[in-house]
Amino acid sequence: MSPHSSSPLIQPEELAAIGGDVTILDVRWRLAGPPGIESYREGHIPGAVFCDLNADLAAPPGPDGRHPLPPAAAFESAMRRLGVSDARPVVVYDDADSTSAARAWWTLRYFGHRDVRVLDGGMRAWTRAGLPVARDDTQAGEPGDFTAEPGGMPMLDADRAAELAARGVLLDARAPERYRGEVEPVDPVAGHIPGAVNAPTTQNVEPGGRFHSREFLRERFDALGAVEGVPVGAYCGSGVTAAHEVLALEIAGLPAALYVGSWSNWVADPDRPVATG
């Protein structure tokens, strides 16, 4: 693995061939539960340690959103506890579609880790490839020496997201019915940021959970106006699925900024405008 790899993804067979010289984080998580640690204990990639999205990749919920960015010191401490080091490659994975793994990928990249890859297809692809599964409760060995230095990936706040929706392309990664404001199962207000374009993350992956090809994704984002030379950003409900959008854009060769607070932060201020339809 190299920080200069042309793709942020790694395939199961590639990961299996690396051997022990990599830190593997199991980032399985579901908004409605059950806790990802239960899936981890039922079976995980040998040597992987469990990374808790809520505790390790986000600060407590509040006005900044349901999954705000953790402070640098807290993130650094969590990653060191999980064995993450600056010079050691990291692979992150979840069940299949890389939604929560993408949040780990983005957060590590934002805080300065240069060699992070996402297991394409996650645990489902690993087991389908016939690769071994462990059922021990793996703990990280030696603590890592990761140093968190913010700013490694572009990030938006509410004001910059609004500006991007007006002058560039702001992609709303949520399901169409949430974008249109027809239903809102989580946040107190339904709708979307005015000027945002709906781009559900479910269309970034194939039915089995693996990402579509670079060419497919490039055509998809081109059709949405996300082309070279145009500033692009993404948001969702709380900055998790939007990280998946940023990952898909990266695969397509299109750098994009993440609005970490996303809709849950946007609607925390009743003076911010809301669009529907």
Catalytic residue set: 236
Using an 8 Å Cβ cutoff, are 248 and 256 in contact?
A: no
Q: 23-26 and 49-50 as β-strands: parallel, antiparallel, unpaired?
A: parallel
Using an 8 Å Cβ cutoff, are 155 and 258 in contact?
A: yes
Q: 169-172 and 197-198 as β-strands: parallel, antiparallel, unpaired?
A: parallel
Q: Give dist(CA 233, CA 248) in Å, integer.
A: 12
Beta strands in 126-174 (DSSP E): 155-156, 169-172
Question: By 3-state DSSP, what share of the chain in percent is helix, strand and coil, each rounded to 5?
Answer: 35, 15, 55
The terminus-to-terminus CA distance of the chain in angstroms comes to: 44
Task: Report in angstroms the alpha-carbon separations of 98 from 41, 75, 104, 256.
Answer: 19, 20, 10, 17
